[in-house]
Amino acid sequence: MQNLVLAEQSKLIDTGYDVCPKCGQKLIKKGYTQSKFHAVFSDHKVGIQKHKCRNPECDWQSTPTTTSVFGTSIHPDLAKLQCSQGAMYSYREAQSNLEKLTVHHRLVNNHNKIKLMTNQVGAVLAKENLKLPAAEECVPRATEVIVQVDGGHIPIKDKDKRSFEVLSAIVYRPENICTIDQHHRKIESKSCAFSAQDDGLATIKTYLFHAALKQGMDKNTVVTALADGALNCWSVILSLVPHCRELICILDWFHIAKKFQNVRGTVEESFQDTLERVKWTLWHGKSEEALSNLKILMTSVTDSSKRKKVAALYNYLSQNQAYLVNYQQREQQNQTYTSQVAESHIESIINARHKKSGKMQWTREGAHKVLQIRGSIASNEWSNGWQEPVLIALGVAA
Ligand SMILES: [Zn+2]
C-alpha cells in the first residue's frame, strides 16, 4: 500500500528547477531516478523526475534524490520515533523495540543511527532552550510557582572520575498537584529543565528561568523553592531573585526525613528517642533548639564512626539553617514543604535512562542532549513540540 501511495505522491514532487541553472534554457524531462525513502514502518524506492537541458551545447542534467529535494530521506515521523526511543531506552534497546514494531530488521533503525538522530535533535533542543520562550509557550501569569532543583549523578567509565553531575529544575503551579490517592500525588503540568554542562551553572540557570516563565512566573510571582541542601542547587535557585516578587527557599523535608532515617539506623537504641525529638522540634520550626540538642546528642555518642554520622547530619542542618522553616505550620496551611511527588525526583529521570545501560560510555555532551528530549517528554511538550526540532535536525527547516 505504501509503495502505491508513494508512486502517486512522487509524481507531484517538485524538484525545484524551472530552467537550466547553467545556461537558463528550458528543461526537458529525462525519465526517473530511483531514490531511497524511509517511511515510519518500511523502506522504499521513490521515482523522482529527472531533467536535462534542452540546449545541445549544454550538458547540464539533474540527478535528484530524496535528500537533495527534501533535505533528508527519512520521514520526520520516523525520526521522531527514533528520538523518543533513544531518549527513553539505551540505543540497542531502542533498536530492538523498533524492530519489534516493524517486524523486521531495518538498517535505518540501527542503534548507531538512532544515537545520531537522538543527538542531533537533542542538540537542537539544547540550543532552543537557551532562547526566551515565546508568548504562546507560556501559560498565564501565576501568583505562585513551586521550583525544585536537584542534582543527580551519571556514572562514567573514565579512570579518573566515577561520575559527573546532572542538575534538574522542575517548575509547577501549586494548583497543578493532584491527589491520586492517599499516598500518591501527581503534577498535572510542569516544566522540566536538565543540564549536564560543566559551565558554572550558567546553562541550568537559564533553563530554570525559561521553565519558570513557561509556568507563568513574572515580577509579581511568589516562588517557593525546594532543594536538598547542596550549595550549587541553592545557587541555581537564587538566580531567580531578580525575576520574581519573593523567593522562599526551603530545605526539602523529603531529604531531611531521609537523612534522619539513615542516622536512626546507626545510633544506639537509647539515643533514638532523642533523635526523634530533634526531628520533631525541627518539624515545628524550632531549628535553634533542634540543632543544640543534636549537638549534645553528637557529643554523647562514643563510637567514633557512629558519631561521624550524627555529625554529618548536624553539619547538613546547620549549613542549611537559613532554609529551615516551620514545616508543621506549612503543612497545616496546605503550603509546599516537601518534594514528595516521586516522579519529580531526578533519580527517576536519570535511572530510567542513564544508569540502567551500564555498558554505555556517557559523556557530559551526550547526556546533555538526551536529557533535553527527556525533559521535553516530562514537560508534556514533546507530543506537540517535536516537529520543529526534528525538522531542523533533519535539515528540512531552518
Ligand atoms: Zn543548460
Q: How far is the CA of 52 from the centre of ligand 1 (A)?
A: 8
> What sign does the dihedral 167-173-174-176 (CA atoms) show?
negative
Assess whether 245 and 300 both reside in one domain. no
Estimate the crossing angle of helix 111-128 against helix 76-88, to 10 degrees: 90
DSSP code for 132 = P
Q: How far is the CA of 19 from the centre of ligand 1 (A)?
A: 8
Q: pLDDT tens-digit profile of 108-146? A: 999 999 999 999 999 999 999 999 999 988 998 999 999
On average, the pLDDT of the chain sits at: 90
Assess whether 147 and 245 both reside in one domain. yes
> What sign does the dihedral 18-23-25-31 (CA atoms) show?
negative
Cα separations in angstroms, 376 against 167, 340, 369:
15, 22, 11
Closest CA to 131 of 397, 389, 386, 346: 389
Assess whether 300 and 282 both reside in one domain. yes
Q: How far is the CA of 20 from the centre of ligand 1 (A)?
A: 5
Strand duo 43-53 + 190-195: pairing: unpaired
Q: How far is the CA of 29 from the centre of ligand 1 (A)?
A: 13
Q: How far is the CA of 26 from the centre of ligand 1 (A)?
A: 8
| φ, ψ (nearest 5 deg) of residue 220 | -105, 5
State the cell numbers at 11. Answer: 509524481
Assess whether 215 and 362 both reside in one domain. yes
Assess whether 297 and 239 both reside in one domain. no
Three-class SS state of 26: strand
Beta bridge partners of 250: 226
Q: How far is the CA of 37 from the centre of ligand 1 (A)?
A: 29
Long-range CB pairs of 33-38, under 8 A, 24+ apart, other chains included: 33/63, 33/64, 33/65, 35/64, 35/65, 35/66, 35/67, 35/73, 36/65, 36/66, 36/73, 37/6, 37/66, 37/73, 37/75, 38/73, 38/74, 38/75, 38/78, 38/106, 38/108
Q: How far is the CA of 35 from the centre of ligand 1 (A)?
A: 24
Q: How far is the CA of 69 from the centre of ligand 1 (A)?
A: 20
Assess whether 245 and 365 both reside in one domain. yes
DSSP code for 147 = E
Predicted pLDDT at 360: 58
Q: How far is the CA of 14 from the centre of ligand 1 (A)?
A: 19
Assess whether 43 and 173 both reside in one domain. no
Q: pLDDT tens-digit profile of 356-395? A: 555 556 788 999 999 999 999 989 999 999 999 999 999 8
CA distance 383 to 364: 26
Q: How far is the CA of 396 from the centre of ligand 1 (A)?
A: 28
Assess whether 213 and 310 both reside in one domain. no
CB 48 within 8 A of CB 62: no
Q: How far is the CA of 73 from the centre of ligand 1 (A)?
A: 28
Assess whether 243 and 375 both reside in one domain. yes
Q: Which residue has the cell 542516622?
A: 263
Q: What residues in the chain have per-residue pLDDT under 70?
A: 157-161, 340-345, 351-361, 398
Number of domains within the chain: 3
Q: What is the 3-state secondary structure (H, E, C) of 233-245?
A: HHHHHHCCHHHCC
Q: How far is the CA of 57 from the centre of ligand 1 (A)?
A: 8
CB 90 within 8 A of CB 70: no
Q: How far is the CA of 36 from the centre of ligand 1 (A)?
A: 27
Domain contains 9? yes
Helix (H) or strand (E) holding 31: strand 27-38
Q: How far is the CA of 94 from the centre of ligand 1 (A)?
A: 48
State the cell numbers at 130. Answer: 537557551
Q: How far is the CA of 67 from the centre of ligand 1 (A)?
A: 23
Predicted pLDDT at 361: 67
Q: How far is the CA of 58 from the centre of ligand 1 (A)?
A: 5
Q: pLDDT tens-digit profile of 290-328? A: 999 999 999 988 888 889 999 999 999 999 999 999 999
Q: How far is the CA of 211 from the centre of ligand 1 (A)?
A: 54
Q: How far is the CA of 6 from the centre of ligand 1 (A)?
A: 30
Domain contains 120? no
Domain contains 239? yes
Assess whether 237 and 266 both reside in one domain. no
Q: How far is the CA of 22 from the centre of ligand 1 (A)?
A: 5
Closest CA to 192 of 90, 343, 337: 343
CA distance 82 to 116: 10
Q: How far is the CA of 50 from the centre of ligand 1 (A)?
A: 14
Domain contains 394? no
Assess whether 225 and 368 both reside in one domain. yes
Domain contains 153? yes
Q: What is the pTM of this model?
A: 0.89
Closest CA to 246 of 143, 140, 133, 138: 143
Q: How far is the CA of 68 from the centre of ligand 1 (A)?
A: 19
Q: How far is the CA of 43 from the centre of ligand 1 (A)?
A: 34
Parent domain of 55: 2-70
The CATH number linked to 144 is 3.30.420
CA distance 284 to 258: 17
Q: How far is the CA of 66 from the centre of ligand 1 (A)?
A: 23
Assess whether 233 and 374 both reside in one domain. yes
Q: How many CB atoms lie within 10 A of CB 189?
A: 14
Domain contains 79? no
Helix (H) or strand (E) holding 273: helix 269-283
State the cell numbers at 256. Answer: 531531611
CB 339 within 8 A of CB 148: yes
Q: How far is the CA of 23 from the centre of ligand 1 (A)?
A: 4
Domain contains 226? yes
State the cell numbers at 292. Answer: 543544640
CA distance 118 to 112: 10
Cα separations in angstroms, 100 against 94, 95, 182, 235:
10, 9, 38, 46
CA distance 251 to 291: 15
